[in-house]
Amino acid sequence: MARKARTLTRPYSAYWKLRAKENALLTHVGPGTPCGEYLRRFWQPIELASAVADRPIALRILGEDLVLFRDRSGRLGLLEQRCSHRGASLEFGRITEQGIQCCYHGWHYAVDGRVIETPVEPPDFRPKLYHGAYPVREAAGLIFAYMGPPEEAPDFPAFDFFDEPVRARIHYKRHSPCNWLQIRDNEVDNSHGAFLHTVMAGVQLSTAYHELPLMDWRESPLGILATQIRRIKDKVFVRVNELIIPNLVRIAGIEDGEGVTMCDRRGPIINWCVPIDDTNSWVIGWNVIEPNLPDPRRDAYMDREVRAGHDPFAHPQLNFQLGQDGDRPLEERRSVPGDWDAWVSQGPITIHAQEHLGPNDYGVVLYRKLVRDGINAVAAGHEPKGLVRRANGPIETYANNTVMPVPKRPSAEDDTRACLEFGRGVIVRTLSGELRRESASAQP
Reported as a single tens digit per residue, the pLDDT across 201-257 is 655 666 666 678 899 999 999 999 999 999 989 999 999 999 999 999 999 887 777
What stretch(es) of the chain map to CATH 2.102.10.10?
44-145
Torsion angle of C-alpha atoms 195, 205, 162, 218, degrees rounded to 10? 30
Per-residue model confidence as pLDDT tens digits over 173-205 = 999 999 999 999 999 998 877 777 666 665 566
Percent with pLDDT over 70 in the chain: 87
Confidence of residue 164 (pLDDT cuts 50, 70, 90): confident
Question: Which of 34-43, 104-113, 119-128, 235-244 is the least confident region?
Answer: 119-128
- pTM equals 0.89
pLDDT at 303 over 60: no
pLDDT score for 361: 93
Residues 3 and 388: their CA atoms lie apart, in Å, by: 48
Per-residue model confidence as pLDDT tens digits over 313-347 = 444 334 445 567 888 889 888 888 888 999 999 99
pLDDT score for 213: 87
Among 118, 149, 367, CA closest to 248: 367
Beta bridge partners of 138: 143
Fold of 44-145: Rieske Iron-sulfur Protein (2.102.10)
- DSSP H or E stretch at residue 378: helix 362-379
Question: Which of 77-86, 110-119, 164-173, 308-317 is the least confident region?
Answer: 308-317
pLDDT score for 328: 84
Q: Is the dihedral of CA 69, 72, 76, 80 positive or negative?
A: negative
From the CA atom positions of the chain, what is the Rg in Å? 24
pLDDT at 306 over 80: no
Confidence of residue 302 (pLDDT cuts 50, 70, 90): very low
Among 294, 418, 310, 56, CA closest to 302: 310
pLDDT at 444 over 80: no
End-to-end CA distance of the chain: 75
Let me know: does 78 contact 66? Beta carbons within 8 Å: yes
Beta bridge partners of 57: 68
